[in-house]
Amino acid sequence: MGGAGRSFQTTHWTAIEKVGSDNDLDNEALLAELLRAYWKPVYCYLRHKGRRNEEAKDLTQGFFQEVVLGRKLIQKADRTEGRFRTFLLRSLDRYL
C-alpha cells in the first residue's frame, strides 16, 4: 500500500470528523483516503523503531485492520486533545 511520503501530513480535522457520518459512501471514501495518507508514515515509524521490512509491513497492516478499522479508532479522535498523528502513534505503541 502506498501513501504519501515518509512523514505525517497535516491532518484535516474536518475529514477526521466526517468519518462516521451518516453517509456511508462519503464515509468509505474519506476512510480510504485517510488510510492511504497514513499507511506509509506508520510503516516508516515502525522501521525507524528497528522493525524489519516485512515485520513493519505486517504490523502496519495489522494495526490498521485491528485498531483503526476494527476498533473505529478514527471516530475516537478528538481535536481538543492534540494532534491526530500523536493520537495515532500513541495507539500504535499500545498495539505493539
SS (H, E, C) the chain: CCCCCCCCCCCCHHHHHHCCCCCHHHHHHHHHHHHHHHHHHHHHHHHHCCCCHHHHHHHHHHHHHHHHHCCCHHHHCCHHHCCHHHHHHHHHHHHC
> What average pLDDT is seen over the chain?
86
> Is the pLDDT confidence value at 32 over 80?
yes
pLDDT given for residue 61 in this prediction = 97
- Give percent of the chain above pLDDT 70: 83
pLDDT given for residue 12 in this prediction = 73
More confident residue, 36 or 53: 53
Q: pTM for this one?
A: 0.82
More confident residue, 15 or 47: 47
pLDDT tens for 50-79 read 999 999 999 999 999 999 999 989 888 888
